[in-house]
Amino acid sequence: MQACGCKRNGQSLGHCLTAAASLAARLVRSAVQTGPARGSHSFRTVTCQNGWLPGGRHPPAGPCRDPAGRRQPRVSYGEAWFGMAVGKKSRKKIKNFALPGVALVPHTESKVGAHHSLNPKPPGLGSSPPADRPPGNRRNYNSTSPPLSGVLASVVLLALPLDRHGAEIYSPGVWIDFFFLLILGRFNRARAARLTLPHFTCQTPLFMPVGTQGTIKGLTTDQLEDIGCQIILGNTYHLELRPGSQLIDDLGGLHKFMNWKRALLTDSGGFQMVSLLHLADITEEGVTFQSPVDGKPMLLTPEESIHIQNNIGADIIMALDDVVKTTITGPRIEEAMHRTLRWIDRCIAAHKKPDVQNLFGIVQGGLDPVLRSYIRLITDYAIFPPNFRDICVRGLVERNLPGYAIGGLAGGEDKDSFWRVVAQCTAGLPENKPRYVMGVGYPLDIVVCSALGADMYDCVYPTRTARFGTALVPEGVLKLKQNAMATDERPIDPTCSCMVCKKYTRAYLHCLVTKDAMGSQLLSYHNLSFMMRLSRDLHMSILEGRFPEFVRGFLRAQFPKGDVPQWVRNAMEVAGIDISECCASAKCHAPSIQEQPLTVPVPVDADGVVQQN
């Protein structure tokens, strides 16, 4: 305020912000006109929430952060990609440059600059990243290439919404990265994206079946490919017990070991702190387990967890976190949150394969008995101090990890607390990184979490419930052990195109699940097919702009009497989806909570010039 003279001249802070936004707009236009010079920095500028885009497009949820992790106003749909010619003396200043209206983020730097372009044909589902070849008549340039300037060196996307377009950067001779999240579509907080991994390109939202020891019980990898499975989850603790991570490494990694050509994710082993609590002793060094196989002690430290996962070779690996039951309260929650942040630093230091494996951090912090409502989530932290989840989210984001998981849920907590924690965490995590809600497998939970901005899920529920003779259907579940199924000639789900529904009747499956192990295998196949189809439907409905209609249709099938649970109503209200027609109760109404700006919006015209009132 002193530097710009606002306080001295008695002018308001709003005037100061307006002037700053105007300066930012001029910088953008100047950079677009001049283009980058050789050796220049490449910046990504994000039009933030206090600078609305033409056409009144609303920004998505989630904060915008600069490279140091400092919180900036939230990202809007529009982005501009441009090069800025800067000298060595001014580079440091511009690198840390930030204004309320525009956040500048250094994106790529090379000795010869960076080639910026739209990619009209991004890698397709299941394909490898393409060679470094700019689209159209654009070309890569090397150390002998002349400096580029003008339009060829700058592609401006200020008028393009992120829900239909994505920008990718090509650098000389190298594809941008083997791991990136390209957001293809959006509805409010829900997003459909393409996640490129070393072994496979996935579509989100996605569900990951759990193969604890490198196998899905009763199914082959060919069958998993047939139903459209994109990622399988393996467990570090159990794989280390049998057959051992060193053996897996010696045999070429888990992909080759289990003959799986698509993506893999390995859990850190932290969940066993809860599931095997009676066999575990947790200290600052790590967690000591008593092996359920031979009774021998096993010390799992953050370093050892990463070492085991490096040997296994999964595309995504998880940091070891301090996991506590969701129903626990008191100082143990705070202890676990701070220890999780300390352990993530040890995991980062121990990670030997960051070029081929992506390390995700896990948000811990309990439910917080004074968990704030959505309105409080987007107000000033000075008025409402951050809770443990906020602190953990901030700490992980500062470490700039490839992705983030929300842990400590799906363990018996009430559903109202469940969705509020998901909403709170997704609002604080970066827009350009995957968000993984751990342990979630109920179809209703996945739809709600996707509406709140989550991308990835895992659970044993579809296969475990199959072993109990229960099939997943659009209306909920179908219990095939019931006597009424004994003479039913219909398929499990007439709308399902999986092999089981095409070939077998409910009566036949009723006979199998009561007398033959083949029944659980067939039901596992169907249930995972159902989950893969749900993932595809979520992705396509967001991409095609019909996500609200999909949600309403899903809820009508699940709750034909209109008895939608109150927690679902509350969550959809925050997600901005009107489900009043699905509810019998008059209390279920259209959304009244809107995405609120962190600061007062500064109106701008189509050229980015601030409009005066």
Q: Which residues pair with 105 in a beta bridge?
A: 44
Who wins on pLDDT, 215 or 273?
215
270 annotated ligand-binding residue: yes
Please give the residue that has the higher pLDDT: either 387 or 354: 354
- Is the pLDDT at 378 greater than 90? The verdict is no
Cβ-contact 305, 268 below 8 angstroms: yes
501 assigned ligand-binding residue: yes
The CA distance from 268 to 235, in Å, is: 7
Q: What is the mean pLDDT of the chain?
A: 73
Tell me the mean pLDDT in the region 229-239. Answer: 94
CATH homologous superfamily, domain 180-372+386-582: Queuine tRNA-ribosyltransferase-like (3.20.20.105)
Which residues lie closer than 8 Å to 239 by C-beta, 6 or more apart?
213, 214, 245, 248, 254, 266, 308, 312
> Average pLDDT, stretch 507-518?
92
% the chain with pLDDT above 90: 54
* More confident of the two residues 135 and 11: 11
d(CA 270, CA 305): 9
At residue 163 the predicted structure's pLDDT band, cuts being 50, 70 and 90, is very low
> 274 pLDDT band (50/70/90 cuts)?
low
CA distances from 3 to 7, 8, 44, 97, 113 (A): 9, 9, 26, 15, 33
Q: Is 526 annotated as a binding residue?
A: yes
Angstrom distance (rounded) from CA 430 to CA 588: 31
- Average pLDDT in the 188-196 region? 96
Euclidean distance between CA atoms 231 and 252, whole angstroms: 19
Catalytic entry in 267, 315, 390, 455: 267
* Three-state DSSP state, 184: strand
What's this model's pTM, rounded to 2 decimal places? 0.69
Is residue 269 marked as binding? yes
Average pLDDT, integer, range 526-542: 98
User: Distance between alpha carbon 244 and the CA centroid of its chain, in Å?
Assistant: 30
Q: Is the pLDDT of residue 94 over 90?
A: no
Is 36's pLDDT higher than 60? no
* Residues 131, 149, 174: CA angle, nearest 5 degrees: 20
408 has binding-site annotation? yes
Cβ proximity of 425 and 405 under 8 Å: no
Asked about 250 being catalytic, the answer comes back as no
pLDDT at residue 302 in the model: 97
Q: Do residues 468 and 218 make contact, with C-beta atoms less than 8 angstroms apart? A: no
Query: Is the model's pLDDT at 382 over the cut of 80?
Result: no
Does residue 113 carry a pLDDT above 70? no
Average pLDDT for residues 372-390, to the nearest whole number?
56
In this predicted structure, which of 8-12, 473-477, 592-596 has the lowest mean pLDDT?
592-596
The average pLDDT across 531-559 equals 98
Q: Are 289 and 272 in contact (CB under 8 A)?
A: yes
Say yes or no to pLDDT of 131 above 80. no
Rounded to an integer, the average pLDDT of 302-320 is 98
What is the pLDDT, as a whole number, of residue 296? 81
Token output for 94: 């511009």
Burial label for 173, CB within 10 Å (0-12, 13-18, 19+), is exposed
Higher pLDDT, 416 or 292: 416
Among candidates 358, 383, 337, which has minimal Cα distance to 598? 383
Q: What is the pLDDT of residues 454-475, one digit of tens each?
A: 999 999 999 999 999 999 999 9
pLDDT of residue 566: 96
Going by DSSP bridges, is the β-strand pair 476-479/358-363 parallel, antiparallel, or unpaired?
unpaired
- Asked whether residue 267 is marked as a ligand-binding residue, the answer is yes
The annotation status of 554 as a binding-site residue, yes or no, is no
Close Cβ partners of 183 (under 8 Å, ≥ 6 residues apart) = 162, 163, 166, 191, 192, 193, 431, 432
pLDDT at 101: 31
Per-residue confidence at 213, pLDDT binned at 50, 70, 90? confident
**pLDDT at site 15:** 53
Q: Give me the catalytic one of 315, 455, 458, 493.
A: 458
**Predicted local distance difference test score (pLDDT) of residue 289:** 82
Supply the pLDDT for residue 257: 96
Maximum mean pLDDT: which of 107-116, 142-151, 221-230, 282-291: 221-230
* Count, residues in the chain: 613
Confidence of residue 612 (pLDDT cuts 50, 70, 90): very low
For residue 155, the model assigns a pLDDT of 25
- What does the pLDDT read at residue 269? 85
Q: How far is C-alpha 486 from the chain's CA centre?
A: 43
Asked whether the beta carbons of 401 and 321 are under 8 A apart, the reply is: no
H-only helix segments in 276-398: 302-312, 331-350, 374-377, 388-398
Contacts of 411 (CB under 8 A, 6+ apart): 274, 325, 326, 327, 439
Q: What are phi and psi of 158, to 5 degrees?
A: -55, -30
Q: Is the pLDDT of residue 201 over 90?
A: yes
**Lowest-confidence pick of 105-119, 209-223, 353-367:** 105-119
Task: Flag the least confident range among 78-87, 325-334, 385-394, 416-425.
Answer: 78-87
Domain ranges of the chain: 180-372+386-582
Residue 511 has pLDDT above 80, yes or no: yes
Residue 212: pLDDT band with limits 50, 70, 90: confident
Residue 568 parent element (H or E): helix 566-575
Of 597 and 336, more confident: 336
Supply the pLDDT for residue 285.
Answer: 96
Q: Name the more confident of 515 and 571.
A: 571
458 counts as catalytic? yes
Predicted confidence band of residue 381 (pLDDT cuts 50, 70, 90): very low
Q: Which residues are within 8 A (CB) of 462 and not within 5 positions of it... i.e. 6 or more apart?
A: 209, 441, 472, 524, 527, 528, 530, 531
pLDDT of residue 68: 53
pLDDT over threshold 60, residue 50: no
- Is 163 among the annotated ligand-binding positions? no
Strands 168-170 and 115-117, by their bridges, are antiparallel
How many degrees, rounded to 5, is the angle at CA 75 between CA 381 and CA 540?
120
Position 358 confidence tier, pLDDT thresholds 50, 70, 90: very high
pLDDT for position 295 = 77
Residue with tokens 């606002």: 6
Q: What is the 3-state secondary structure (H, E, C) of 186-232?
A: EECCEEEEEEECCCCEEEECEEEEECCCCCCCCCCHHHHHHCCCCEE
Angle between helices 331-350 and 388-398 (to 10 degrees): 10
Given a cut of 50, is residue 546 above it in pLDDT?
Answer: yes
- Is 496 assigned a ligand-binding role in the annotation? yes
pLDDT at position 210 over 70: yes
Lowest-pLDDT range of 329-343, 378-392, 424-438:
378-392
Work out the pLDDT band at 375, boundaries 50, 70, 90. very low
pLDDT over 90 (residue 136)? no
